[in-house]
Structure 1
């Protein structure tokens, strides 16, 4: 009997429960990244994205791929500014790979947060504090939909002076 595919290997969306599986998944997605990482998060969810293994995988993605592109959209700057976030420190160290913008005022209030890799692999959380979410390593259709949504938000977003001080 063949082993059951893990959520990271699945070609269909799967539900993940618990912080540890979510952390493992974001690392797995980063290790599979080849071109682009899109992160939409209200507050950069420190429980997932301020963790050393994720940050190291993101660093490797950037430095091992000169065409790597990492775009980050944030909303809740107050929380980010109050708590130092190593993801922003990494963006400061590798500014040619990172772009960080604040969501436009008219787009504020999104509940969902997501990490999208190469517009095919993703983790979709119903809210910033969720400890469960939908994940897929190879779902190009859903990846394209999330990517299109992200780019619409990105086009209306702008660099924020508070982020600029943190990132640049």
Structure 2
């Protein structure tokens, strides 16, 4: 992983013309500062993803992941192909208990298409970042998972390879979260 990521451009163009940012084509880091900007970046990645969407998140922040703008394209991706690979790693599922979260509800309905797991105890203690990798081309990286400051790049295959390898390491050590399973009565 790179020691530091250079934040080069503001999110204003992304907010004004999101259609100009194409997964696998539009290169250049964009700085994100607000929940709305982060939500739009996740939405654009999910809308354009064709094969995979790998997410690590502290607790699936409702301002980002419990919105129709994000959940609907993830649902379309999951239903688009039986080969779609949607994996979500959560560090802390406690805030999700006893709530109705759209993405968790979708994952429960489409459990064969969307996998949700909890990071290992060791990783939960040591990982401070959150990130999303779409089709191994697009990347959203939050160096501090509890802050909205992030960088997005729609064409960063080398960084996606590194982050994807990190994701797989976390995933292999993760476990199903019994609190997020759907109860069948």
Q: Which residue of 2 aligns with 1:48?
A: 64
Distance 1:41 1:22 in 2: 13
RMSD of equivalent CA atoms: 2.0
Q: Which residue of 1 aligns with 2:110?
A: 94
Q: Which residue of 2 aligns with 1:36?
A: 52
TM-score normalised per structure 1 = 0.89
In terms of mean alpha carbon deviation, does 51-60 or 8-17 score higher? 8-17
Deviation per residue, 1:2-23 (Å, 9 max, x gap)? xx97483431222122222211
CA contact (8 A) 2:52 2:134 kept: yes
Secondary structure of the corresponding residue to residue 108 of structure 1: helix
Q: CA deviation at 1:45?
A: 1.4
Note the 1:117-156 alignment, pairs <5 A.
117-156=134-173
Q: Which residue of 2 aligns with 1:112?
A: 129
CA contact (8 A) 2:46 2:70 kept: yes
Aligned length: 164
Stretches of structure 1 that go unaligned for 5 or more consecutive residues are none
Distance 1:77 1:16 in 2: 25
Distance 1:166 1:39 in 2: 24
Matched, 1:21 2:37: yes
Q: CA deviation at 1:165?
A: 4.0
Deviation per residue, 1:61-104 (Å, 9 max, x gap)? 11122211111111212111143211110011111111111111
CA contact (8 A) 2:92 2:124 kept: no
Distance 2:151 2:133 in 1: 12
Q: CA deviation at 1:136?
A: 0.6
Distance 2:44 2:165 in 1: 23
Greater relative contact order (CA < 8 Å, ≥ 6 in sequence)? 1
In terms of mean alpha carbon deviation, does 16-25 or 43-52 score higher? 16-25
